[in-house]
Structure 1
C-alpha cells in the first residue's frame, strides 16, 4: 500500500487518529482474515478485537464504535486506531483505492435500484464471462458482499488472482447501521467505484425507516448519477421515476430498456431493434421481474458492444442465484423466492399463481427486526395478491432459524396479522419455519403449488426440506 499511512487514512475517513502515524503495507480487510500490514475495518470493536488485530500484525484499525476500554488498550499495545462517525466513508475509500491499485483499467459497471439488483448484476457478469472476459462481481446468493458497508469488495478485488477485465458491482440504494441512515449511500459508493456504466432497475419502497416515501427512495437512487462522468447510463423506461433520471446526466449517453425501446419484451420474447433476439421459449425464467432484469442485462451487453449471439447464449444458459424463483420440486411444485418487499412480493406471487394448476399454498416469513412500517406494507402486498383466489396462507416467525438481528418482534407480528385480519385473509401462523414447511407439505397435493417467500427467515427453507427428504 505504497504511499498510504494512518494519518492520511484518518483524514480520508473524516476521523481521528489515536496513536502514531504509520505506513500501511497491506490491504483493507475484515478482522477474521486480516494479515500483516492490513487495515482492519469494523463497525465496532472492543479490547478483544484490538488484541486480535495486533496479533495478526495489522497496521491499524478503523471503527465508528470503540467499546469498553478499546481506546486505552489501543494505546497500550501501540496499535493505531482511527475513530470515524461514518464507517462507510472508509469503505468507500477502500474500494476506490483497491480499484486504482489493482484494477485501474477495468470496465466498471454499477447496478442499483430497489428490486432486481442482484439478478441484473449476476446476469451482466454471466454475459461478460460468456464473452471471454475475466469478470468479478460482489453479488452472491445470500447478499453478503453487496452492501459495501464493510471492506469485503475491496478485499476481494485486492485478493483476486490474475488480471481483471471487468467489475460488476451491486450498490445498495440505501443502507443503515444501528438505526442510522447512511445518507447518500448510492452516491458515495458509486463515486468511489467511478464506473463507465450505471444501470438502474426501479424505484420502490423497501427499507422503510431509512427512506419513508417513494420520493426519498428515488432521491437516494438518483444519487448514483450525480456527477457521473462515465460512458452511459442504462435506465428502465417502464419505471417513470427512473425514466425521469435521464435529466440528471445531460452529458452522458442514455440507453433505455423496456416498452417501446430498442430492447423490449413482446409476446414472442426479447427484441433488439424490433428483431427477435431471445425467443420466449428459450428464456430460463419468464416472470415479469426476471424479464425486466434480463432487459437491463441485455442492454448493458449491447452498450459494451458484445456480440448479440454471445448475449443470447449467456441469457439462455443462465443459472439464477439461489432463491430467485428457484424451483425446488415439481410434484408438488415448490418455488422459493427472496421476495422481501411489497413490489417483490406482488410480482412473485403473481408469477407463481400463473404456474398453478391445483391449489395455491403460500408460506411467508415475516421480516424480523425490520420495523413495523415495512411489515405493514408487506402484509398488505400479500393480502392484495391473494384476496381474489383460493389459497392457503401460512405465516412463520422462523424462531428456529433466525438470529437476534432477524428476530420477529411481537409488534411486527401483530401488525402483519392485523392487516390480514382487516382484509379478511385467513392464515395459520407457526413460530418455527420447520413447522410451517411441514404443514404446507401435509396440506398440498401433487398438482398443487407451494410458494416460499421472505428474506432471512426463509433462507434456510431449502436446507430444511433437504434434511427432511422432502426435496
Structure 2
C-alpha cells in the first residue's frame, strides 16, 4: 500500500524529514510495525510510548533495520527518514492498522466482552454456541482461534496491529463471527478503537487493576468505552444486578438489553435457579421482545438452561451468552444444547477432581471474583471446606487488602476456621513476586480475623500439605492467580503417584484428564 493512501483520511500534525523541506510520502510500504527488533525492509514504524519504554528512543534501530518511515509524536532530527507527526501514536496505530488490513471487523459480526470477571468464560460460551454450525474466531486470555487454527494468547487484548492481523485472517477465511475479550487496558491503550463491535457485553465492573489505571474512576472510565462508543444500531447487554454496570444504561446510544439473576427489574429475568449440586439449573424468562443484530425481534419466551459448569457466576455468564446468541438469531434449542455441552475454561471455578473429595481451581483475581466464587460454595453441599490461597504478588497493598478482606467476610459465612496460604516462590516471575509488605499484610489481616493461617512459601509443599488433610466429602479450593497456576498439575500428579498399580489402571487416566489440554502452569 502507498503511505500517502494509508494516511490520507487520518488527522496528522505534519510530515517531517530532517534533511528535506519538500517531503514526499508517495511510496509503497511493505507493512506496519511497532517492535524495533522485528522491523523488516520498507515497513512503517510506529513509535509507541509504553510504561517502561518509549518507542521514540528506538526509532534509529528501526531505521537501521529497514524502516522506510516513522509515525511519531515529536520530530526526531537524528533519524533521516520521513516522519508522520500525530497527536497519539497508539491511536494512529489502531486506526491505520485497520485501514492497512481493509477494516476487517466490518466484515465480521463482532462480539466484545469487558466484564471485570467472566470475560473468558462468557466468550467461550458464546463461541461454543456460534461454532455449532460454523467455523468461528475467538480472541482472549487463553487462546486466539481463527477457524480451525489455535495459538496461545499473549495479551488478553492483543496490540492493535496484531489484533487487526487476526481479524484480517478471519476475514480471508470467511468466518462469520469473532468473539473477543476486551480488557480495560486494551480499551485505555486504544487497541480496539478501530474495531466495529455489533454486540457488547458487560456482566460486572468491580475494583481491579487499580495498580494499572491509578483509580477505580479511571478503570470505570476505560470499561464504559466499550458501550459508550457503540452506535445506535448496535446492541449492549448489561447485568443490572451490578450497580456499576447498571449505570452504563445512560452512557450508550446502543439498543440496551438488561438482565438480572437476583430479581431486579430487567428485560430478561433468571427464574427457578437451583445450585444445590453446584451446577446451575434455571429458566431464562424473556419478559419483553428483544432486538437482534439483523433488526428482528426475539419474542417473549421461557428457556430452560442446564449447565455442566459450577458456580453462580456461570449463571450470569451463561445468561449473557444466551442473550447474545439470541441477538444473533440463534435458536433457543441450539443455545440449550451448547450450554449443556460446555465444559468450562481452565482455572475458572474448574472442577479438576471429583472422587472421594472435590478439588476446584479458581483464579480468584479480585474482590468481586472472590465474592462470587465463595458465594457459589455457600450454595453447595459438602463436608468441610479447605482453601489454599496464593497471595497476589506485585499488585500492592490496596489490591491485596481488598482481596483478603473479602475472603475474611466470606470465611465467616462459610464457617472456615483455617486457611492455607502460599507465596508460590518457585512458580512466579519477578512481576508477580510477593513482597514482604504484601505477605505481612495478608497474614496479619487473616490472623486478626481469628483465622488459623498455615503458611508455606513454596506452592508444592502447600498443595501436598492440604491434600493430606482432606477427608471424604470435603471440597478443596485452589484460590489464586499466577501463583496458583501450577497447583492443578502438582495436585493431580501427586494423587496419581499415590495410586496403586491397580488403581492407576482403573482410574489413573481420569485423574490426569484435566491436565490433557491445560495451558496454565504447565
Which residue of 21, 37, 43 maps to 1:59? 43
Which entry has the higher C-alpha Rg, 1 or 2?
2
Deviation per CA, 1:175-210: give whole Å up to 9, x if none: 6xxxxxxxx628x45542121221111121011234
Which residue of 321, 324, 330 maps to 2:348? 324
Partners of 2:462 and 2:5 in 1: how far apart?
52
**Aligned in 2, Cα 1:439/1:109: closer, same or farther, shift over 3 Å?**
same
* 2:360 corresponds to 1:358: no
Partner of 2:457: 431
**Aligned in 2, Cα 1:106/1:145: closer, same or farther, shift over 3 Å?**
same
Partner of 2:114: 112
Partners of 1:67 and 1:99 in 2: how far apart?
23
Compute the RMSD of aligned alpha carbons.
3.3
**Aligned in 2, Cα 1:59/1:436: closer, same or farther, shift over 3 Å?**
same
Deviation per CA, 1:76-118: give whole Å up to 9, x if none: 4443454569664355336634774445321112211212122
Partner of 1:272: 285
Equivalence map 1:123-272=2 (5 Å): 123-130=125-132, 132-141=133-142, 144-149=154-159, 151-160=161-170, 162-174=173-185, 185=188, 188-211=190-213, 214-229=216-231, 230-249=233-252, 251-258=253-260, 259=263, 260-268=265-273, 269-272=282-285
* 2:474 corresponds to 1:441: no
Deviation per CA, 1:372-411: give whole Å up to 9, x if none: 1101111111111112403431111111111112111221
**Aligned in 2, Cα 1:196/1:423: closer, same or farther, shift over 3 Å?**
same
Which ranges of structure 1 fall in alignment gaps of 5 or more residues?
A: 26-36, 176-183
User: For structure 1, which segment, 15-24 or 334-343, has the greater mean C-alpha deviation from structure 2 after superposition?
Assistant: 15-24
Cα distance, 1:345 vs structure 2 = 0.8
Partner of 2:315: 291
Preserved contact between residue 145 and residue 153 of structure 1 (Cα < 8 Å) = no
Preserved contact between residue 41 and residue 150 of structure 1 (Cα < 8 Å) = no
For these two proteins, the number of residue pairs brought into alignment is 437
Preserved contact between residue 42 and residue 66 of structure 2 (Cα < 8 Å) = no
Cα distance, 1:422 vs structure 2 = 2.5
User: For structure 1, which segment, 457-466 or 433-442, has the greater mean C-alpha deviation from structure 2 after superposition?
Assistant: 457-466
Q: Using CA pairs under 8 Å that are at least 6 residues apart, name the structure with larger relative contact order, 1 or 2.
A: 1
Partners of 2:173 and 2:117 in 1: how far apart?
32
TM-score with structure 1 length normalisation? 0.82
Partners of 2:302 and 2:475 in 1: how far apart?
32
Which ranges of structure 2 fall in alignment gaps of 5 or more residues?
A: 19-23, 74-86, 144-152, 274-281, 288-300, 497-510, 512-522
Partners of 1:374 and 1:366 in 2: how far apart?
10
Partners of 2:482 and 2:209 in 1: how far apart?
15
Partners of 2:32 and 2:392 in 1: how far apart?
34
Matched position secondary structure for 1:452:
strand
TM-score with structure 2 length normalisation? 0.74
Partners of 2:56 and 2:228 in 1: how far apart?
40
Preserved contact between residue 7 and residue 17 of structure 1 (Cα < 8 Å) = no
User: For structure 1, which segment, 95-104 or 376-385, has the greater mean C-alpha deviation from structure 2 after superposition?
Assistant: 95-104
* 2:32 corresponds to 1:39: yes
Partners of 1:15 and 1:297 in 2: how far apart?
46
Partners of 1:96 and 1:423 in 2: how far apart?
53
Which residue of 316, 322, 325 maps to 1:301? 325
Cα distance, 1:450 vs structure 2 = 0.7
Matched position secondary structure for 2:439:
helix
Preserved contact between residue 363 and residue 396 of structure 1 (Cα < 8 Å) = yes
Moved over 6 A (4+): 11-20
